[in-house]
């Protein structure tokens, strides 16, 4: 028996990420335009790096608060007042080692082994994997896809709820589909959660990337103070800080001791000097985030307009998030297609097979990138598609 088989069955059965598989295949090739992962082309801004470096130089290298340093929790509170028009005192905020870890902590907080969590597919694969590793079951409900547009079907969500269901995971705007809940969608989902006594894990990490203007509708707009909602969020996308691995949770203050304990027994808190960088991101980063949003919108238009004009791609321009999710005529196996595309065009796309039921025939392209490079990627992709 191989020693691997003596590891925990849950650990062994965690899937390899289908995005990383294709990335590993062509990583580092010359001239590559990497649109496969969800990040932009800019490094973190100097004012963020400088704040972290100053803290490091000042010796801020000791154990710190599990919930996050008070300054950062206050900066998060101020950020929500500015951008979401809501007063949430600092005790609602918990700093985590990435958005991914925020999800992991929320999963641990909400579910026991054997419990179920309902989520919408196609979906970013990590949520289902995090659940399964924790011993809970992920129950995918497919979004409807019609004429290039994604929509929720509330009846299907209701039908997936069983006595074992503990929570709904709602990612809006969605990675990978760009589906963005309306305020009415959110109110209806909340009503369903209330009726069944469920938690909602709200992943609104792309809320600022909302191209009709302003920010996307949020559960914060429809909820009451006593609703069971935990928001998971991240510094990764807004402030170009994917490599920092810093995120946060917004949760009812009554859950604070439980969340603190879960953080204690995982990372025991995020490095204080990195939290100082995060404070700078929040307090001084509004113009930087706006520039990222403007760039994403321009690049979305360049990429989607070109692809739609081929008449061989079923997609609409997404209202939110950072991805074009493309159904290309003639593509029957998106994993094979992603490999063929990167070989023939040098454009790295993520295969839809990585995003679960309903995504198999699609390819995902992240457009948070210099518009000139996106134009080049669009030209190469259109050329490939028209020859299929």
Give the residues lining the site for ligand PLP (CB under 6 A). Answer: 38, 98-100, 124, 171, 175, 203, 205, 234, 236, 242, 247
Measured between alpha carbons, how far is 183 from 256 in angstroms, rounded to an integer? 28
- Alpha-helical runs (H) found in 161-285: 183-196, 256-264, 272-284
- Closest distance to ligand PLP from the beta carbon of 143 (Å): 14
Minimum CB separation of residue 280 from ligand PLP in Å reads: 18
Among 39, 88, 123, 36, residue whose Cα is nearest residue 348: 36
Report, in Å, the least distance between residue 282 CB and ligand PLP: 15
Q: How far is the CB of 59 from ligand PLP (least distance, A)?
A: 27
Residues 22, 335 contacting (CB under 8 angstroms): yes
Tokens of 206: 């792309």
**Phi, psi values for residue 48, rounded to 5°:** -75, -50
Return the number of the residue (136 or 205) whose C-beta is nearest ligand PLP.
205
Nearer to ligand PLP, 205 or 313 (CB): 205
Whichever of 362 and 385 has its CB closer to ligand PLP, that residue is 362
Residue whose CB is less far from ligand PLP, 236 or 334: 236
Task: Please state the closest distance from residue 377 (CB atom) to ligand PLP, in A.
Answer: 19
> Least Å distance between CB 51 and ligand PLP?
19
For ligand PLP, give the closer residue by CB, 116 or 203: 203
Distances (CA, A) of 112 to 132, 165, 221: 11, 11, 29
Q: How far is the CB of 203 from ligand PLP (least distance, A)?
A: 5
Between helices 272-284 and 46-57, what is the axis angle to 10°? 150
Give the residue with the Cβ less far from ligand PLP, 99 or 371: 99
Collect all residues with Cβ–Cβ distance below 8 Å to 144 and sequence separation of at least 6: 150, 151, 152, 153
CB count within 10 Å of CB 243 equals 10
> What distance in Å separates the CA atoms of residue 296 and residue 281, rounded to the nearest whole number?
19
Tell me the three state secondary structure of residue 93: strand
Closest CB to ligand PLP among residues 240, 345:
240
Least distance to ligand PLP, CB of residue 321, Å: 8
Question: Which 3-state string (H, E, C) describes 24-52?
Answer: HHHCCCCCCEECCCCCCCCCCCHHHHHHH
- Using the minimum distance from each CB to ligand PLP, give the nearer residue, 99 or 356: 99
Tell me if the bond preceding 176 is cis, omega within 30° of 0: yes
Give me the phi and psi of 230, to 5 degrees please. -115, 130
Identify which of residues 140 and 345 has a Cβ nearer to ligand PLP in the complex.
140
How many C-alpha atoms does 107 have within 13 Å on its Cβ side? 25
Residue among 359 and 382 whose Cβ is closer to ligand PLP: 359
Q: How far apart are CB 37 and ligand PLP at their closest, in Å?
A: 8
Helix (H) or strand (E) holding 140: strand 137-142
Contacts 24+ apart (CB under 8 A), 381-387: 381/306, 381/307, 381/341, 381/345, 381/347, 382/306, 382/307, 382/309, 382/310, 383/345, 384/341, 384/344, 384/345, 385/307, 385/310, 385/312, 385/313, 385/328, 385/329, 386/310, 386/312
Element of type H or E holding 328: strand 323-328
Q: Which residue is nearest to ligand PLP (CB)?
A: 99
Minimum gap (Å) between residue 201 Cβ and ligand PLP? 10
């Amino acid at each position: 028996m191989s020693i691997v088989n003596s590891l925990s069955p849950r650990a062994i059965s965690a899937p390899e990420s289908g995005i990383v598989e294709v990335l590993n295949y062509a990583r580092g090739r010359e001239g590559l335009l990497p649109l496969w992962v969800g990040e932009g082309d800019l490094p973190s801004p100097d004012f963020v790096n400088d704040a972290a470096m100053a803290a490091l130089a000042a010796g801020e290298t000791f154990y710190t608060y599990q919930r996050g340093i008070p300054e950062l929790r206050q900066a998060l509170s101020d950020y929500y007042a500015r951008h979401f028009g809501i007063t949430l005192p600092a005790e609602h905020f918990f700093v985590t080692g990435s958005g991914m870890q925020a999800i992991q902590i929320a999963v641990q907080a909400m579910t026991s082994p054997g419990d179920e969590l309902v989520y919408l597919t196609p979906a970013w694969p990590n949520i289902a994997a995090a659940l399964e590793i924790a011993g809970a079951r992920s129950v995918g409900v497919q979004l409807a896809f019609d004429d290039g547009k994604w929509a929720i079907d509330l009846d299907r969500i209701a039908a997936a709820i069983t006595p074992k269901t503990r929570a709904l995971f709602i990612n809006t705007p969605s990675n990978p589909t760009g589906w963005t809940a309306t305020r009415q969608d959110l109110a209806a989902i909340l009503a369903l959660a209330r009726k069944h006594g469920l938690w909602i894990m709200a992943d609104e990490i792309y809320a600022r990337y909302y191209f009709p203007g302003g920010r996307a509708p949020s559960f914060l707009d429809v909820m009451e103070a006593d609703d069971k909602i935990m928001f998971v969020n991240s510094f990764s996308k807004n402030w170009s800080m994917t490599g920092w691995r810093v995120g946060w949770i917004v949760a009812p203050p009554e859950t604070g001791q439980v969340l603190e304990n879960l953080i204690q027994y995982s990372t025991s808190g995020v490095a204080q000097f990195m939290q100082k960088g995060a404070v700078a991101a929040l307090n001084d980063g509004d113009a930087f985030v706006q520039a990222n949003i403007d760039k994403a919108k321009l690049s979305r238009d360049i990429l989607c307009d070109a692809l739609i004009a081929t008449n061989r791609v079923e997609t609409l321009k997404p209202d939110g998030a950072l991805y074009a999710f493309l159904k290309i005529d003639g593509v029957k196996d998106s994993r094979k297609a992603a490999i063929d595309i990167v070989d023939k065009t040098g454009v790295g796309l993520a295969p839809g097979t990585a995003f679960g039921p309903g995504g198999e025939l699609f390819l995902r392209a992240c457009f948070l990138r210099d518009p000139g490079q996106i134009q080049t990627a669009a030209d190469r992709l259109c050329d490939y598609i028209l020859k299929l």
